[in-house]
Amino acid sequence: MAELSLRDATTIVEASLKKGRETSCAPLAVAVLDAGGHLKAFAREDGAGIIRPQIAMGKAWGALGMGSAHGRWRAAWRSSSAAGCYPLTDPAASPWTTKRWPRK
């Protein structure tokens, strides 16, 4: 696996937040981890819930635990019963970001 640069990690965070705004998501927290599971980049939008950072880290860590196999992870997620949650489909955005409800 190629090493993730800080520039690339920051790009993932920015693209994820941009997509969240475009799709009227609630305020997001986005975490990007390197292959070793260490935090590489993180952002929390104003108004994001108190546990959003922990949720973002948990989702990113879970994706690593599943082998970061984006295609297999997405297929498993789509077949799950996680009502109202789905990965964003913009390839520039983090594949582990989810939309849950609209912003107010």
Q: Percentage of residues in the chain with pLDDT exceeding 70?
A: 62
CA 67 distance to own-chain centroid: 15
* 30 Cβ neighbours under 8 A, 6+ residues apart: 12, 13, 16, 17, 41, 42, 43, 44, 56, 94, 97
Class of domain 6-99: alpha beta
pLDDT band at 66 (very low <50, low <70, confident <90, very high): confident
Residue 65: the pLDDT is 81
- Tell me the whole-structure pTM to 2 decimals: 0.64
Domain-by-domain residue ranges, the chain?
6-99
Rounded to the nearest integer, the mean pLDDT of the chain is 75
Least confident among 2-6, 40-44, 70-74: 70-74
